[in-house]
Structures are given as C-alpha cells and as structure tokens.
Structure 1
C-alpha cells in the first residue's frame, strides 16, 4: 500500500488526476470512497459524482437535497458548491414536492432535466408563482435546452407553460388521449430541433391515429426540426413498430420508429454514459 501511495505521489499532478477521475467514472462507490482520500482527490472526484444524478425514491430526493444544501458546519465544503456540479438531473420520484422544488431552485446549471413527478402538482406549491393553467408563459422548470417529461409529468399532455420556449430537445411520454397536445408543439417551442415521443400501443390499431398526428407535426415543423423518434411501448412493441415503418414507407427521413426500452428513466441515464442513443435517427 505504501509503495502504491509513493508511486502516485511521484506522478505529475495531471496524470494522477486522470487516474483518479478514471477510477471514479468506472465505479460510483469507488468515487464516493475517493472523496475521503485527500482534498485534492475530493476536488477531482466530486464533479464525477454530481455530473449526472438520478433520483428514483423519496429517500434519494431527501438525502440529495441535504447533500447539496449549502452549510457552514461542514469542514469539507467544496470550492464549487455541489449543486453547481449537477449537469444532468433526473427526478423520477413522485415527491416530496417541496424538496423537489428546492432542488430545482438550487440546480441552476442543469443542461438536461428529466421529470417523472407531476408538474401540475408542483405548480400548486405556495412557493411557486407559476401555474400550468396560466395564460402567460412562466416556466416552472430551471432553464435548460433538453427536457425528458415521462410518467406523471405528461399525464395530462405536454405542459408547454412549464417549459422554456427555447428548448431544443424534448422527449415526452404521452397516452393516446393526450396525443392531440402535439398540435401546439411548434407554436410553443419554435427552437425545437429534436423530438422523441413514447406512446403505449397494445396493437397496430392505434397507428391510424398516431401516424397522421406525427405526419402533421413533421409537415408543420420549421426547418430546425432535424429528427422525430417514435418509441412504441407495450408487449407487442416490435410488431407495432415494424407495422408503422411499413406503413410510413420512408415518407420523411426525419422519422424513426423503434420499440421503447423497458425503462425510460434508465434510458435517460444511459444516454449520458454512451450506452444508449436517443437523438440519433
């Protein structure tokens, strides 16, 4: 152990940093352990730990808020506040909403946000002045360019008033009943370049409703829209996707139709580790 320590100490700092960062990226538990090695190693590994954060339970939400809330009591306060380290944030727990609201307020540097909780419920908190029903557009989500609204967040359709108008990448999970909210897409999000829509389809029958709506979105799109990915959910996803591809017959190359992965939240996370591609056609 002493030989290993001496060897690392003899390395140039930039090489030692690459070694520790590689170890931290390779294993999350290792990254957590490395934060206790020294101040320098902690400084190098904290960005790895907090770059991409996925919160899937009430406990995870609560503990993450405790971790990123600034405190004068800690002797390990980082040079850069932890909430400024978060670049990709996925909150798939349904609550507690007051803690989620606080996290969204703190994490202002997020570049990519995924939500699985109810945005309508979040907007009713007294601490928030913005409402989904408001005539005026006042987004309740932090400024970002990429949003993934799945689960409860899109239960009533696409909540346009909660999304900044300069959003460029959007992934939504919609029911067949909420499909009509796509009609307002380009008027509400004129900067959109990439769109992914995940829809539950138990058979090929809904294709008669879905494909005309997708075609209308493509026809009405500005030249900025580069790709539209339709992800078919359900036990017969592969068969429905194949039928959609045959029926579409390459009418617009921007559209790709694929079976949805088993977990949309896991897909979101894997998009940022290089194991999954959502925006490629």
Structure 2
C-alpha cells in the first residue's frame, strides 16, 4: 500500500486561525441567516453560498500557510472518478435493499427523498426554478464538499499532525476532537432560533455523531470527494425508496442492511485503493511546532 506523507509547517497558529475564521463566520452568518429567513429565496441561497465560499477561502489560506496542497488532503484528480463510481455503487445498493425489503414485507414504496425535505425545500427554495435540484446541488457541491474539506481534510489532519504521528490513539483523538467542534458549531444557530440548553445540545449531538462516522470514513479512504458525496447523501437522501413510514422488523432490517452496505462499500474502496498509485495510507507530521502535543 502506498504511503503518502503530509507535512504541515504552520504550527499552532493555523489552528488558531481556523478557530478565528469559524468564529467570525458564525458571528456574521447566524444572525444574517435569521435576518434573511423571510427574504426572497434567492437571497437566502446567495447568503448560504457566500458563507461556504468564505469558509473555503479561509481553509485555502491556512493550507497555504501550512504549505500543504489541496490534493494532498484527498482532492486529487485521480481520486474523483473512483469516488463517483463508489458512491454510485452505494446508491444503487441502498435502493435495491429498500425495494427488496418493501417487496418482501409488502410495504409501500415510491420515489421520494427523506421525509422532512419537501417542507425544507418548499420553505427555503420554493419560489426558485427547480428547487429540488438547487437543494441537492447545494448540499453535494457546496455544503458537503466545503465542510468535509475544512473539518475532515484540514482540521482533523492538522490535529493528528500536531499530536505527532498517525498512531491509532492519535487518529481516534483527532476524530473525536473534530467531531466535538463540528457539533458545537451547530449550537449558535439553534440558540438564535430560540432553542433552550437541551435543544442546543440536541442540535449538536447528531452532527457530532455523523462527524465521527465521516471522520472514520476519511481515515479509511483519504478521499474527500467520497466523504463529501456521503455527506450530501445524508443531507438529502436521494433514493427512489421512501422507508421513513416503515416500522418494526422492516425498519430495523433496512438500517442494519444500510449499515452493512456502507461498511462493505467503504472497505471495498479501501481494498481497491491499496494498489499502486492510489491512496489511502497517509502519514501526517507537523514541523512548525513542538510543545505540549509532543
């Protein structure tokens, strides 16, 4: 298996820069999002794209300071097609699982996205042309890609590098810390929306849990395209089978089967990527800092 080495040179200052960038974006866009909630849909869309454009630009600046390129983190051209193909396999397998279970247990199924999306799409983009397409593209090409590049690609890798090496303990700590930070960044919006302490904690819990899964996926594949596609799938669930009205054995069977498919597809990609001139083994080191992380 090929070994890639990523050398960070920015030290702790880039992690502090990451924190400052996200604090500023949160301070600006959380109240801005609330302010434009009743504005025309295109204003909300432009605001959302602008927010992630600023976040993406901040990460690019930090990478420049660290002297690390974007392809090194898992966004090289040679990784794009394998990621799309692997995602296609996952999508087909999940649909086959859902339709097969529906036929076996006699449950109804139809073409549908996840249950809450019709309301979300109508509320946020209903006055725009092809609102469903806008919503899906926004989640796959903007939100999923930028968040994964920022948190899994940069922040998680940087923290592991600061810890000294890629031992399992350091990788696990990097995933956990990234997930906690990712979840915490979802609390300001909940608080502005009027949620109490329990509501804010709840708003942070699900993103933190999914961040752990995405962090593990990234460590297994080191392909940010693939992780971003999985992220977009989780946000939109663009399947032709609506399983959300199911209950009992059928629902349990779907979730167990879906988990097995996710694991199987990820491990299949990792096995394929272990060949020459592919990833996924990566060693991350930091030469710009030596201190409490040593």
Decide which structure has greater helix share.
Answer: 2
Decide which structure has greater strand share.
Answer: 1
* Same fold flag (TM > 0.5): no
Structure number with greater Rg is 1
Q: More relative contact order in 1 or in 2 (CA 8 Å, sep 6+)?
A: 2
